[in-house]
Amino acid sequence: MTEQLSEERRQQVLDLCRDLIRIRSYSGEEEKVVERLKEFYTACGFDEVRTDEYGNLTAIINGNRPGPTILFDAHMDTVPVQDPESWKHDPFGAQIEDGMLYGRGTTDMKCALACMATAAGFFARDTGRDFAGRVAVAGIVHEECFEGIASRAVSRDLKPDLVVIGEASELKLKIGQRGRAEILLETYGVPAHSSNPEKGVNAAYAMCRAVERIHAMAPSVHEFLGKGILELTDIKSLPYPGKSVVPEYCSATYDRRLLVGETKESVLAPIRRILEELHEEDPSFKGNVSYASGEETCYTGEKIRAERYFPAWLLERDHPAVQRVMEGFRSHGYEPEITKYSFCTNGSHYCGEAGIPCLGMGPSRENIAHTIDEYVPVEELYAAAQIYEWMMEAFLCKTDKLS
Ligand SMILES: [Zn+2]
């Protein structure tokens, strides 16, 4: 990269990153991060700062003429620290050691949020707001269990023309990801004393038959995104423990990775067919398949509910947004690799559900997310803030249309 942030700006980026890491913000407890960011946005002269019913925080810088809305999206929640004893660094201490900043949420992904927020401030100052459109930075709640669900409220409000997801990308440009669904498979039996099993129908045996057939299915494949993996993640029978009872109910959960072009119906159809075949072969077999759903409470008190189905998304390499941002990068001597996320992000909503072009760009590596002694290389924070500003420039300081 040819340009570097000034010492003063580097300090500003690092200070905000460390402040956010010091504030614990597990899913549903993001309120104090919101308060700190509000302070920052106010001090930095953002034009609009608002929260919605779920508690997402959106801050906006307006240009001096109409134009597109570019939304920078990062979630404020983190996964919990399961075992603080096994951390060598205080998970909420924001310690720096050998050029690495340590703490829960460094990689995933409060530092990216801090980089986006500071970059928008730099952009406002560097352009004197002489640009078309607006930059919005959204801190999203409850991403760790519901990718993209809280984001729905932000896209409804802003109707962005383009979204930049800040999940860790090693500062490469991400243009897609597989989606994710949690599939619930259920079998039903008839309870009986296990000394007379023929009097009942064992739901666990029924589950075994279904699981075996599903395991033999060939996965769907996409040449860029990979396999539509279907993996069994748990099985439970009822009553549990069984204590001399033939189980009358059994459930299994599958993690299904989704590809572009797949739908809620097309993903379940082959499993439904297997259940029908098993029933035709043995009328006592009773099974059902559906998507798991969940409900969580936001710090605002609002409930967030959703079926666990988060679609895939992918932009073509010659999509105008990809072309435009790459041209912008090249003009600064930066040529990142174009690649894909291997996990699921809020892009599932923006691009997968709402059809809004989406790009991923963030500091750190995907596989440092959710780990013990999670960290981010400090130099990448400065680079990310600079790159985000280049993205704002590429989309808002040129006059030609995005798509
Ligand atoms: Zn994340």
Report DSSP letters for 28-87, one per residue. T--HHHHHHHHHHHHHHT-SEEEE-TT--EEEEEE-SEEEEEEEEEEE--B---S-GGG-
Ligand 1 centroid – CA 60 distance (Å)? 22
Ligand 1 centroid – CA 39 distance (Å)? 23
pLDDT > 70? residue 175: yes
Q: Going by DSSP bridges, is the β-strand pair 65-75/162-165 parallel, antiparallel, or unpaired?
A: parallel
Ligand 1 centroid – CA 245 distance (Å)? 43
Ligand 1 centroid – CA 66 distance (Å)? 32
Q: Give the model confidence (pLDDT) of 47-98 as tens digits.
A: 999 999 999 999 999 999 999 999 999 999 999 999 999 999 999 999 999 9
Read off the tokens for 392: 């704002």
pLDDT at 403: 45
Amino acid identity, residue 254? Y
Ligand 1 centroid – CA 363 distance (Å)? 12
Ligand 1 centroid – CA 36 distance (Å)? 20
Which residues 6+ apart lie within 8 Å of 93 measured at CB?
22, 102, 103
Q: Going by DSSP bridges, is the β-strand pair 313-314/173-177 parallel, antiparallel, or unpaired?
A: antiparallel
Ligand 1 centroid – CA 250 distance (Å)? 32
Q: Give the model confidence (pLDDT) of 8-45 as tens digits.
A: 999 999 999 999 999 999 999 999 999 999 999 999 99
Ligand 1 centroid – CA 285 distance (Å)? 41
Ligand 1 centroid – CA 233 distance (Å)? 21
Ligand 1 centroid – CA 242 distance (Å)? 39
Ligand 1 centroid – CA 38 distance (Å)? 21
Which residues 6+ apart lie within 8 Å of 329 measured at CB?
173, 335, 336, 387, 390, 394
Ligand 1 centroid – CA 63 distance (Å)? 29
Contact 148, 352 (CB under 8 A): yes
Ligand 1 centroid – CA 400 distance (Å)? 32
Q: Give the model confidence (pLDDT) of 310-355 as tens digits.
A: 999 999 999 999 999 999 999 999 999 999 999 999 999 999 999 9
Pick the CATH number of 7-178+312-396 from 3.40.630.10, 3.40.1710.10, 1.10.10.10, 3.40.190.10: 3.40.630.10
pLDDT at 146: 86
pLDDT at 393: 97
Ligand 1 centroid – CA 366 distance (Å)? 9
The span from the CA of 185 to the CA of 211, in Å, is 9
Sequence ranges of the domains in the chain: 7-178+312-396, 179-295
The beta strands (E) that lie in 156-210 are given as 162-165, 173-177, 179-188
Ligand 1 centroid – CA 109 distance (Å)? 6
Q: Give the model confidence (pLDDT) of 118-137 as tens digits.
A: 999 999 999 999 999 999 99
Ligand 1 centroid – CA 166 distance (Å)? 8
Res. 400 pLDDT band, cuts 50 70 90? low
Smallest Cα–Cα separation from 180: which of 347, 27, 28? 347
Ligand 1 centroid – CA 345 distance (Å)? 7
Report DSSP letters for 248-295, one per residue. SEEEEEEEEEE-TT--HHHHHHHHHHHHHHHHHH-TT-EEEEEE-EEE
pLDDT > 80? residue 399: no
pLDDT > 80? residue 402: no
CATH C-level class of 179-295: alpha beta
The span from the CA of 89 to the CA of 85, in Å, is 10
Ligand 1 centroid – CA 152 distance (Å)? 16
Q: Give the model confidence (pLDDT) of 218-227 as tens digits.
A: 999 999 999 9
pLDDT at 275: 98
Q: Give the model confidence (pLDDT) of 148-163 as tens digits.
A: 899 999 999 999 999 9
pLDDT at 321: 97
In this prediction the pTM is: 0.93
Ligand 1 centroid – CA 9 distance (Å)? 25
pLDDT > 60? residue 2: no
